[in-house]
Structure 1
């Protein structure tokens, strides 16, 4: 079964189709009136009207009416207008502006992405006109008229092709922005949920260990074991589903987003998981752009998550340094070093991609005195 959004989309498509069909009918009527006027109004007749034979009326009506379905059947429309035009000019007198129907049909054909078909049909029209002009003794157009005819047909195809390319670029840009926004939202979910579920897992494990150490089991221990196992499975599924999005850069969020102003709150949650976190700030805090502020927060968050899950550390030092042109983020722990982080490559790569997307750098390595260190430099444009 289809949902409400699917039905709404189909309804919108039907309304758009009906609107386009009405517009094409009006265009066909307007072009038909114009062709008739340019055909019957002339200077040779005393009353200003020229007689048009039945075949001429048939061709004018056929060529103009074909435009009513130009977007639904663009190739057929182009063929009909080509035949009507090719028969009218060498056979029917007086001349008129029926060529306009072919020009509009060629433009429509190219604008719908059928540039090759438009070029072929336009080429046939040019070849036929050249044969009638230079292959016979009639020469109805002359060199100037032939030049204008070729120019109009080529321009119709070229403009239609340009319109199609521009429309494709706009649609591609809209799809790209929509995709980037979905990826940005998914990445934020990965960062936030991964951090908090990791803390739930660690806290449940710590509480379960304390109960088992004291010889207390029962329903509480079973519940904690279930919470630990469920959170571990949730983390595994989350990483499998969204982990690849860690490499994707995103634009600055349009609404309120986490930043270094919430660093104390982040540290407090890590302390609740049993990790001693010291937060220091060097230099005078600067006004950061939303993108830099968010990246700095996420780097600290990911680093603390890795420490909580892998390092076996007891203390972590978080230092935020504000320079003249950049802000530095330094997260150092006293854990087991890089050897305990075999499964965190995607996390470190994600932090590095955040820094590099803003023109910064990130280093992650063992500390000489033991433990592990993550240090990022994020340029923010400098102080005024």
Structure 2
């Protein structure tokens, strides 16, 4: 098995890849042009030295192909043209132009690649018409095919890279939305409880300092507990952003097994909460368990902040295939606060996104007998299995 250090060095990337490309091409072209250095002389040594300099320029230009693809290809093409005009020894230097055209097209500069290829072909055709015996009409046709193939392959490479980059960006966007949704649910719920309890404590102390001290102390205790829970869940949520080597959070993941914590915190605000369970869903998938917990959490948050309710009913019904979550209250109905986070704001949007991400659905609106109702249906089968066609 290759080591980690070796895996990082191969294949080369960045400027190391550019240097490998230029050096490898110079080696191939040099081996194909060795006869200019050995055997009978067909040109003066000064001309041979100048032509080897042109080879170095044409191949060395590819070192800049990833950063300046068009100037690099232009320099390689110009050096190659001068070489074939002045050298008495034919060689494979045309490979530099072929590779350069691929890099230009792979960078998304198709028009520039076509222009450079056209100029090279026009120059070669003019030389053929002038009686150059090294390139005939068949060779010119084959050269055209090479140029077209390289430009096409470069264009396909560019399209592949663009699609891969778009896929990565979509994945990153979805991950950011997921983290933002988690933070909204965690922070919004507990801060709402803290706000309600601290306001109640302040009101009791202001109204009757002596008689309300005990009730205020109880409310402040609930504030302390809510803030502690908020910090713990916030650390767990941000654990996905921790650096390599940092210890993972050890707290249990939120789920319906911890619904008692939500109802207990809601009851501390004076809200009468009842939970009704029917059916036997068994062990829930992690995604559905977390989504159900967050839906109940956000619903109770909205009830505490906006509904002015005295009672909330939570119903959980599972049949092994789907889980139904309902939260109703006896408050005054939907209200949107100025920040847009009320029942018709981003809270319901986030809950609906959670349900749809699992292939389910969520509705929220005024209940028939008054108050507000949230109803969600969450499939318990993995989404991939839901989408698999039947055979």
Measured against the shorter chain, the TM-score band is 0.7 to 0.9
Match of 2:110 among 115, 120, 128: 115
Q: Which residue of 2 aligns with 1:185?
A: 179
Partner SS, residue 83 of structure 2: helix
Match of 2:87 among 92, 96, 100: 92
Q: Which residue of 2 aligns with 1:367?
A: 367
Please tell me whether residue 206 in structure 1 is matched to residue 191 in structure 2: no
Q: Which residue of 1 aligns with 2:344?
A: 345
Contact 1:264 1:279 in 2 (8 A): no
Unmatched runs of 5 consecutive residues or more in structure 1: 1-14, 232-253
Compared CA separation, residues 49 and 170, structure 1 to 2 (3 A): farther
Deviation at 1:194, TM superposition (A): 0.7
Once residues 166 and 118 of structure 1 are traced to their aligned partners in structure 2, the CA distance between those partners, rounded to angstroms, is 18
Of 76-85 and 340-349, the range deviating more from structure 2: 340-349
Partner SS, residue 368 of structure 2: coil
Q: Which residue of 2 aligns with 1:140?
A: 134
Contact 2:334 2:344 in 1 (8 A): no
Compared CA separation, residues 311 and 157, structure 1 to 2 (3 A): same
Q: Which residue of 1 aligns with 2:256?
A: 260
Deviation at 1:28, TM superposition (A): 3.1
Contact 1:39 1:50 in 2 (8 A): no
Q: Which residue of 2 aligns with 1:9?
A: none
Q: Which residue of 1 aligns with 2:96?
A: 101
Once residues 87 and 143 of structure 2 are traced to their aligned partners in structure 1, the CA distance between those partners, rounded to angstroms, is 18
Please tell me whether residue 77 in structure 1 is matched to residue 72 in structure 2: yes
State the TM-score, normalizing by the size of structure 2.
0.74
Once residues 303 and 194 of structure 2 are traced to their aligned partners in structure 1, the CA distance between those partners, rounded to angstroms, is 14
Compared CA separation, residues 25 and 308, structure 1 to 2 (3 A): closer
Please tell me whether residue 168 in structure 1 is matched to residue 167 in structure 2: no
Q: Deviations over 1:314-359 (max 9, x none)?
A: 2211010002421100111122233688943112233223223332
Q: Deviations over 1:137-185 (max 9, x none)?
A: 4463334322321122222222233333333333333333333323322
Unmatched runs of 5 consecutive residues or more in structure 2: 1-8, 227-248, 386-391
Please tell me whether residue 197 in structure 1 is matched to residue 196 in structure 2: no
Deviation at 1:276, TM superposition (A): 1.2
Q: Which residue of 2 aligns with 1:62?
A: 57
Please tell me whether residue 336 in structure 1 is matched to residue 332 in structure 2: yes
Q: Deviations over 1:175-215 (max 9, x none)?
A: 33333323322221111111111111111222233334435
Q: Which residue of 1 aligns with 2:270?
A: 274
Q: Which residue of 2 aligns with 1:311?
A: 307
Paired residues in the alignment total 337
Partner SS, residue 338 of structure 1: coil
Compared CA separation, residues 125 and 356, structure 1 to 2 (3 A): same
Compared CA separation, residues 52 and 71, structure 1 to 2 (3 A): farther
Q: Which residue of 2 aligns with 1:6?
A: none
Compared CA separation, residues 356 and 23, structure 1 to 2 (3 A): closer
Deviation at 1:62, TM superposition (A): 2.7
Q: Which residue of 2 aligns with 1:377?
A: 377
State the TM-score, normalizing by the size of structure 1.
0.75
Please tell me whether residue 32 in structure 1 is matched to residue 31 in structure 2: no
Partner SS, residue 268 of structure 1: helix
Of 372-381 and 344-353, the range deviating more from structure 2: 344-353
Compared CA separation, residues 59 and 168, structure 1 to 2 (3 A): same
Once residues 205 and 300 of structure 1 are traced to their aligned partners in structure 2, the CA distance between those partners, rounded to angstroms, is 23
Q: Deviations over 1:252-310 (max 9, x none)?
A: xx996322121111111111111111111110123333222222111111111111112
Q: Which residue of 2 aligns with 1:10?
A: none
Once residues 281 and 185 of structure 2 are traced to their aligned partners in structure 1, the CA distance between those partners, rounded to angstroms, is 25
Please report the RMSD computed on the Cα atoms of aligned residues, expressed in angstroms.
Answer: 3.6
Deviation at 1:217, TM superposition (A): 9.9
